[in-house]
């Protein structure tokens, strides 16, 4: 089966510093050689801490930013080869839901214009049909029809996130990137939005990249999970395998760092020393080695490739590789 979306060896390096005439002083290696494929109907969870490059990767998949090198394909077609007009036409198929339900909605637009903007841009339907479609969408995401005439500030965070979801779904996309879509919400509201996304993805057969820093939320929604650290995928596996048989020491540390809501299980955490290093000068070899309790000599010099093993489980680690095929 052709994956709906695929990236091959994609890199994004951002320049920093430098003046008007000088070249950049350094490069941030935000995404540094990632290959991934998402099958139609699949939800891939992408987890990582700040600076891991997870949001940049999500934007590269939509070609919202241009990669420094590498290939991005949607439904077998290269996204990078498309001209502006073809790309715009294809935007109907790929949409994004942002983290911040406050900053991502234009405060001067009514909800019906926000949700219907994509339909108008793509020239879909008559004005009356578009209005009807907006009503349907609002109902789909659990908002009353009166919401259409109101402005974003009249809504709470959770309701705004529903507006953002309705906007993303308006043009009938096949692929949706949800970038920390529930991170800014209160716990009780987070559950509502997670349930909504779960329902929508089943009902509409959506393919999703679900980006989050919280493994609990990732687990809830994903079919497969990719763990990112400093611009690279360090582990990729079906959901069960990531949670029951994590291999990479970073994945294990992430899992053990999540506070468990059970006071009888106060256990010894595997606490990592230090912070995530700067993506400007990632450590040589395995970028995780300065914080890794299992690092060996080879880890300090040789970058471990992401090697696929049995059961669709891929790991980038010299010490704890995936079970061989």
Near other proteins by CB under 8 A, which window of 38-46, 117-125, 154-162, 300-308?
A: 154-162
Nearer Cβ to other proteins, position 6 or 235?
235
Our finding on whether 275 is near other proteins (CB under 8 A) is: yes
Q: List binders of other proteins among 158-187 (CB under 8 A).
A: 158-159, 186-187
CA atoms within 13 A on the CB side of 69: 4
Q: Is 189 a binder of other proteins (CB under 8 A)?
A: yes
Integer Cα distance of 62 and 66 in angstroms = 9
Q: Considering beta carbons, is residue 49 or 117 the nearer one to other proteins?
A: 49
Burial pattern 156-173, b for ≥16 Cβ within 10 A else e, equals ebbbbbbbbbbbbbbbeb
Strands (E) in 125-268, as ranges, are 175-179, 207-212, 224-229, 232-238
Q: Check residue 217 for interaction with other proteins (CB under 8 A).
A: yes
- By CB under 8 A, which span of 93-101, 107-115, 207-215, 299-307 interacts with other proteins? 207-215
Query: In the complex, what is the shortest distance from the CB of residue 199 to other proteins, in angstroms, rounded to a whole number?
Result: 8
- Exactly one of 22, 263, 324, 325 binds other proteins (CB under 8 A); that residue is 263
Q: Tell whether residue 198 is a contact of other proteins (CB under 8 A).
A: yes
The partner residues of 74 in beta bridges, in order of sequence, read 5, 77
Token pair, residue 164, equals: 């953002």
Distance CA(85)–CA(81), nearest Å, equals: 12
Among the candidate windows 1-9, 12-20, 59-67, 210-218, which touches other proteins by CB under 8 A?
210-218
Q: What share of the chain is helix, strand, coil (3-state, %, to 5)?
A: 35, 20, 40
Q: 60-119: which residues touch other proteins (CB under 8 A)?
A: none
């Amino acid at each position: 089966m052709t994956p709906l979306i695929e990236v091959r060896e994609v890199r994004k390096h951002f320049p920093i510093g430098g003046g008007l005439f000088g070249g950049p002083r350094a490069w941030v290696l935000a995404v540094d050689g990632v290959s991934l494929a998402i099958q139609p109907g699949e939800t891939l969870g992408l987890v990582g801490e700040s600076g891991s490059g997870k949001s940049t990767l999500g934007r590269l998949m939509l070609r919202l930013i241009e990669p420094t090198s590498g290939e991005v394909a949607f439904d077998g077609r290269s996204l990078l080869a498309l001209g502006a007009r073809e790309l715009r036409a294809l935007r109907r198929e790929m949409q994004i839901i942002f983290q911040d339900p406050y900053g991502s909605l234009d405060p001067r637009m009514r909800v019906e214009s926000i949700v219907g903007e994509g339909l108008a841009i793509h020239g879909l339907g008559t004005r009356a049909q578009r209005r009807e479609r907006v009503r349907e969408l609002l109902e789909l995401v659990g908002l009353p029809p009166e919401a259409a005439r109101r402005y974003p500030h009249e809504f709470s965070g959770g309701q705004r996130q529903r507006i953002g979801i309705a906007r993303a779904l308006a043009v009938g996309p096949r692929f949706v990137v949800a970038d920390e879509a529930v991170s800014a919400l209160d716990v009780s509201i987070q559950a509502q939005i997670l349930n909504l996304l779960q329902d929508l993805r089943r009902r509409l057969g959506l393919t999703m990249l679900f980006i989050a820093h919280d493994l609990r939320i990732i687990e809830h929604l994903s079919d497969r999970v990719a763990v990112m650290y400093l611009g690279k995928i360090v582990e990729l596996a079906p959901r069960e395998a990531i949670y029951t048989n994590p291999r990479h020491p970073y994945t294990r540390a992430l899992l053990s760092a999540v506070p468990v809501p059970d006071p009888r299980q106060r256990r010894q955490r595997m606490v990592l020393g230090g912070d995530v290093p700067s993506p400007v000068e990632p450590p040589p070899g395995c970028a995780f080695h300065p914080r890794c309790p299992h690092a060996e000599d080879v880890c300090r010099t040789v970058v471990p490739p992401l090697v696929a093993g049995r059961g669709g489980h891929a790991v980038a680690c010299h010490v704890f590789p995936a079970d061989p095929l």
